[in-house]
Amino acid sequence: MYKTHSCNELRSSHSGQTVTLAGWVHRRRDHGGVTFFDLRDRDGLVQVVVNPDSTEEGYELAEAARPEWVLQIKGVVQSRPEGMENPQLDTGDIEVSAVRVRVLNKAKTPPFPINEETEVDEQVRLKYRYMDLRRSRMRKNLENRYHIIRYIRNFLDQRGFWEIETPILFKTTPEGARDYLVPSRVYPGEFYALPQSPQQLKQMLMVAGVERYFQIARCFRDEDQRGDRQPEFTQLDMEMSFVERDDVMGLIEEMFTSLVDELFPEKTILSRPWPRLTYQEAMERFGKDNPDLRFGMELQNINDLAEGCRFKVFEQTVANGGDVRGFNAKGCGGYSRKQVDELIEFVARYGARGLATLGLTENGEVKSTFTKFLDNETVQAVIARFEAQPGDLLVFVADKPAVVYESLGRLRVFLGERLGLRDPDTLAFCWVVDFPFVNWNEDEARWDPSHHLFTAPMPEDAHFLDTDPGKARGQQYDLVLNDYEIAGGSIRIHERAMQEKVFELIGLDIDVARERFGHMLEAFEYGTPPHGGIAPGIDRICMLLSGEPNIREVIPFPKNQVARDVMAGAPSEVEEKQLTDLHLSSTRTPGQV
């Protein structure tokens, strides 16, 4: 064994013991003929002191050692001299006095400091990810991720779930993204698809009588890379038989509540039980179906006041079937023209043609872009609706409902952030339910499933599928945490006739549907139990619980923002021979990227 103890393990109670440690030189300093350094291993740091009187050779090696060299130290644990204790370190009461030093490996100067949490360009961090992961923040994130997954595994094991693997080489699995395809060498011109999720497979497991399944499943979606997406990501994929919506939601609520209480006791869950909002309510109050409930500033409709108010933009919007909504940006009444312009630019990015404002100065005076058109009574009614106080700023968008929701919903979060209302240690979980079953896709002139093809409609709404599909609600539930959708799931269709009806409704040719999903349709004729499930996104959950700004920080080896692995260099070109074997040739023209 290279070591008898881990660096972080040693305490005063070990004083006098001879120990052997192995790890990396974290930080080194020389002091009047004696060398001190912190030795680091995965678990933490311990101070090592190398005195030439104890080991002449060891002293020379220690003096030559540089950060990130790998050393083995044999030494005696001793209390630090009085006043030299370091309360910042778990091992801060002791040090190890070396009697032998062995260099296990040398290291080049690291591309960035490992012993400080300095800002480092992300591309450099990703290129040297193995060094980046040595830093304490990333090490902590890795550990959190492991603990979260372990907690989930134990929790589900205790409730009778089986962890079952499903294939990675499979057939197209529609979750609304493009598939990654894998060409078959054996069958020229044929392809496997990497699963966008194990959705069909977990349903097949329910047909198979498994009843309770989960998997820490990798999912692959070939989407345009923007923001915080990864081509592959991890879900806790789950499915249960003989359940209704409340059963699945209740189990997930219990699991995450107890996980947070146990692993992250410093965090506060804002409400227990978690609030449930209908989709409609989430949109009307927060402008999004993934609301941040940590703060107020809720949206309100003023169509009734806008109608005939003599401010043209408002009047006409309402007359044309649009909406006028606003919210009270608490305490922003003193915003300068420039600051207000910034908000206008912000909403413009989401399609809003303008932002009407009404500020109340500290002495209650109205400063507004539109109240000059309104009579005083209407102005007072607007102020009253938002309970505006001196120092507040009311902001309004008048447009098609979709634009109003999106622009104001995002502005609310933007201002919430700026006003410091989004405390990362507060966890505002909530459920969003009663989603529309299908959404009208203007571009393609067809209905799209609002969740996925296999979600069941609410039984009492099923008749709308024949008459007015837009009115039907689906048995879908989304779990939202602090402005992120962290899970989506549903009760599924388990009857062939209903599944075929849905294929037809979304415009899937029945022959195509049978070719792609014939196995499911057939399976549904062999005694499929009622079932449902959900798939929490592990990366997002780890990100939020670790207080990180994006999921790359909690994925050991992520792709960068343009879907490249910059450490190994992937994707990369392959040998012509490999393509030939796969019956492929490239259509790329020289110079094309």
Residues that bind ligand ASP (CB under 6 A): 175, 197, 199, 488-490, 533-535
Question: Given the complex with ligand ASP, which of 535 and 542 has the nearer CB atom?
Answer: 535
Question: Given the complex with ligand ASP, which of 416 and 489 has the nearer CB atom?
Answer: 489
CB of 321 to ligand ASP, least distance (A): 33
3-state DSSP assignment of residue 259 = helix
Rounded Cα gap, residues 437 and 455, in angstroms: 8
Question: Given the complex with ligand ASP, which of 60 and 485 has the nearer CB atom?
Answer: 485
Question: Given the complex with ligand ASP, which of 396 and 477 has the nearer CB atom?
Answer: 477
- In sequence order, the 6+-apart residues with CB closer than 8 A to the CB of 293 are 270, 271, 275, 286, 428, 430
- In sequence order, the 6+-apart residues with CB closer than 8 A to the CB of 523 are 203, 204, 207
Question: Given the complex with ligand ASP, which of 324 and 535 has the nearer CB atom?
Answer: 535
Strand partners, 565: 570
SS (H, E, C) 506-540: CCCCHHHHHHHHHHHHHHCCCCCCCEEEEEEEHHH
Question: Given the complex with ligand ASP, which of 25 and 541 has the nearer CB atom?
Answer: 541
CB of 540 to ligand ASP, least distance (A): 12
CB of 239 to ligand ASP, least distance (A): 7
Q: Is the dihedral of CA 482, 483, 484, 485 positive or negative?
A: positive
Q: Is the dihedral of CA 157, 160, 161, 163 positive or negative?
A: positive
CB of 476 to ligand ASP, least distance (A): 8
Q: How many CB atoms lie within 10 A of CB 56?
A: 9
On whether the CB atoms of residues 236 and 271 are closer than 8 A, the answer is no
Best CA proximity match to 78, nearest among 13, 2, 157: 13
CB of 188 to ligand ASP, least distance (A): 31
CB of 235 to ligand ASP, least distance (A): 6
CB of 537 to ligand ASP, least distance (A): 8
Question: Given the complex with ligand ASP, which of 179 and 399 has the nearer CB atom?
Answer: 179
What is the pairing mode between strands 438-441 and 366-368? unpaired
Where does 454-509 have alpha helices with state H? Answer: 464-467, 496-505
Question: Given the complex with ligand ASP, which of 65 and 453 has the nearer CB atom?
Answer: 453
On whether the CB atoms of residues 488 and 535 are closer than 8 A, the answer is yes
3-state DSSP assignment of residue 68 = coil
Q: Give backbone dihedrals phi and psi of 248, rounded to 5 degrees, phi first.
A: -65, -45
Tally the residues of the chain.
593
CB of 581 to ligand ASP, least distance (A): 33
CB of 183 to ligand ASP, least distance (A): 25
3-state DSSP assignment of residue 504 = helix
Rounded Cα gap, residues 29 and 265, in angstroms: 37
CB of 489 to ligand ASP, least distance (A): 4
Question: Given the complex with ligand ASP, which of 66 and 159 has the nearer CB atom?
Answer: 159
Question: Given the complex with ligand ASP, which of 35 and 234 has the nearer CB atom?
Answer: 234
